[in-house]
Amino acid sequence: MCVPREGLFRTLFESSPDAILIEDESGYVLDCNPAAAALHRMPREILVGKHGFELLPPDSRGLITGEIKESIEQYEGLSIAADGERIPVSVRTSHFDYNGQPALLLHVRDITDRKRFEQNLQASHDELERRVERRTAALARANEVLRSEIAERNRAEEERHRLEEKIRGAQRMEAVGRLAGGVAHDFNNLLTVVIGRCEIMLDRLSSDSPMLPDVRLIHDAASKAAAVTRQLLAFGRKQILQPRIIDLNVVLSNMKAMFLSLTSENIQLRILPHTALWRVEADRGQLEQVIMNLVVNAIDAMPHGGKLDIETSNAELAEMNPQFNFPVKAGTYTVVSVRDTGEGMDPETLSHVFEPFFTTKGETKGTGLGLSTVYGIIKQSGGYILASSTLGQGATFRVYLPGLDRVAEPIQEDLRRAPDGTETILLAEDSKMVRELTREILEARGYRIIEASSGEEALQICKDHPQKISLILSDIIMNKMTGHELAEQAVQLRPGIKVVLMSGYADEITRDHIVRTGFQFIAKPFTSNALATKIRETLET
């Protein structure tokens, strides 16, 4: 082709964010744009005149011969920068007339981020890494015999399409998780008001009031609804992790009603607690998610009914154990076993159960993310998970968590009344209902409250208020200025001021901020006493 408009071509050539090189028939660079110089990290005047092979790693030069260049219009490979770094790139080529000479136009795009994402996606398990290595080797062999084999190429293309579809599936699941988190955030604001107003009414009503049973019923229903939002947040991974000493027997007892609601009449459910169970230190919401995933999978494996046992026990593990095919940390472990009498799995299926996207339920029923999520949570908690099964004879999943000889923290809130206070608190909350409720709760405890309906208003109060402000209590998610931004600027204006952040939702950025800054956090919905306790503890630290 010919380029009739040199000025337009030059403008597009110079301003392109992707690297563009022009090579002569022998492979020498005639011209390049600034993006190409930046990609290879060398001045433009040095890049011009180099042979194209000099921009490829030595082990890749044999794959791109002049004859193949004539036939390939698009390929992916590696380039090298001046400092020797190997850069994965996608290259499109086309032939055109350059100043009266035949030339090759190479349009090069840095695909480092995409490659890194693909590698991270495939590296969640050692066995998965080995499968990826085998596929990579197969693709390399396909490239070596590209002209005699374009069938091997078709198989590679099908694999690429399959992986892209899995990635799109993961993106859909992430979108559902964000939706669940957003719904839980709004719902938790409403539940905060319902629970708080019920507590105020319960304080005001006499013991013989005819309204007392109804108010208690509303309070109990709202508390159960709060448990549902915790499940939504666990699904969307939008929780602030709060490790605590837990008695798994109590966790299972609290979840029993939920298990029963999931099972049909032809499934016999038994919970078998160990009487002297070691405690564990973990996030309760995450453990509930682990147990729920295992129970749901067991129920799905018994479409015609069967027996489902959930059992706790203690175990002493040595570094090498016959049931593990890898070394483990020796010590005492608390074990939760989920056994079903369902369809079971053959050895091949069993070897892949913890891989992301692997599912036996079909595309319309399973995402393949449940057990990989379970695996990740257990690993983060310092434990192990084993699966055993025989086709037609059910399956057993055993979760091992480090056992502790310590007293469990109560799952239910401590009902002792928190001490009152007299300090001045700046309350920033954009929900009027939540703000008014929170003010009433804290004023009833003796605190002086200054209200702000936005982060900007609260920051201005920090600048202008003449007296001491002991603590800022702020919602995290507010328009324009978030609670984090408010808190970080407020501590600069008023050194020593304490901060408590509250929210019914926590994305990854929010969780990172809380860890980094050390600010205190209370999740919505909260009870009056829980809020007062958190405020008092923060002020006294």
Domain(s) of CATH 3.30.565.10: residues in the chain: 248-402
Local confidence band at 401 (pLDDT 50, 70, 90 cut-offs): very high
Per-residue pLDDT, 64: 53
**Strands (DSSP E) along 205-287, which ranges?**
243-246, 267-272, 280-283
Query: Could you tell me what percent of the chain has a pLDDT over 70?
Result: 78
Beta bridge partners of 243: 283
Query: Could you tell me what percent of the chain has a pLDDT over 90?
Result: 26
Per-residue pLDDT, 512: 64
Per-residue pLDDT, 328: 83
pLDDT in tens, 22-64: 999 888 999 999 999 988 899 999 999 989 888 888 876 655 5
pLDDT in tens, 249-266: 999 998 888 888 888 889
- Nearest-angstrom CA–CA distance, 382 and 377: 9
User: What DSSP element (H or E) covers 523?
Assistant: strand 520-523
pLDDT of residue 3 exceeding 60: no
DSSP string, 309-325: EEEEEEEEE-SS-TT-S
- Nearest-angstrom CA–CA distance, 119 and 135: 13
- Over range 208-217, report the average pLDDT: 87
**Worst-scoring range by mean pLDDT, 101-115, 285-299, 361-375, 386-400?**
361-375
Per-residue pLDDT, 515: 61
- Over range 514-521, report the average pLDDT: 74
Is there a contact between 267 and 301 (Cβ–Cβ < 8 Å)?
no
Residues in contact with 439: Cβ distance below 8 Å, sequence separation at least 6, in sequence order: 427, 449, 451
Per-residue pLDDT, 400: 93
Could you tell me which of 259, 65, 196 has the C-alpha nearest to residue 143? 65
Is there a contact between 104 and 23 (Cβ–Cβ < 8 Å)?
yes
- Over range 355-383, report the average pLDDT: 64
- Over range 381-390, report the average pLDDT: 86
Is there a contact between 50 and 28 (Cβ–Cβ < 8 Å)?
yes
Per-residue pLDDT, 272: 95
pLDDT of residue 290 exceeding 60: yes
**Worst-scoring range by mean pLDDT, 9-13, 354-358, 515-519?**
354-358
Q: Which class is 248-402 in CATH?
A: alpha beta
Is there a contact between 418 and 532 (Cβ–Cβ < 8 Å)?
yes
pLDDT of residue 176 exceeding 70: no
Other C-beta atoms within 10 Å of 272: how many?
A: 13
pLDDT of residue 231 exceeding 50: yes
Local confidence band at 66 (pLDDT 50, 70, 90 cut-offs): very low
Q: Is the peptide bond before 525 cis (omega within 30 degrees of 0)?
A: yes
Instruction: Tell me which CATH code domain 424-540 carries.
Output: 3.40.50.2300
**Worst-scoring range by mean pLDDT, 36-45, 103-112, 234-243, 297-306?**
234-243
* Token duo for residue 431: 């929900």
- Over range 340-358, report the average pLDDT: 77
| Secondary structure tally for the chain: helices H, strands E | 17, 17
Domain(s) of CATH 3.40.50.2300: residues in the chain: 424-540
pLDDT in tens, 140-175: 777 776 666 666 667 777 777 766 765 665 565 556
Is there a contact between 201 and 215 (Cβ–Cβ < 8 Å)?
yes
Per-residue pLDDT, 68: 43
DSSP 473: E
3-state secondary structure of 109: strand
pLDDT in tens, 404-442: 887 776 655 555 677 889 999 999 998 898 899 899 989
Local confidence band at 71 (pLDDT 50, 70, 90 cut-offs): low
6-110 has which fold? Beta-Lactamase (3.30.450)
Is there a contact between 496 and 159 (Cβ–Cβ < 8 Å)?
no
* Token duo for residue 362: 């079909």
pLDDT in tens, 312-337: 999 998 888 777 777 888 899 999 99
pLDDT of residue 270 exceeding 70: yes
Could you tell me which of 121, 286, 184 has the C-alpha nearest to residue 507? 184
**Terminus-to-terminus CA distance in the chain, angstroms?**
75
Phi-psi category of 160—alpha, beta or left, where left has phi over 0 and alpha has psi -120 to 50? alpha
* Token duo for residue 457: 């208003």
Per-residue pLDDT, 171: 61
Amino acid residing at 299: I
Domain(s) of CATH 3.30.450.20: residues in the chain: 6-110
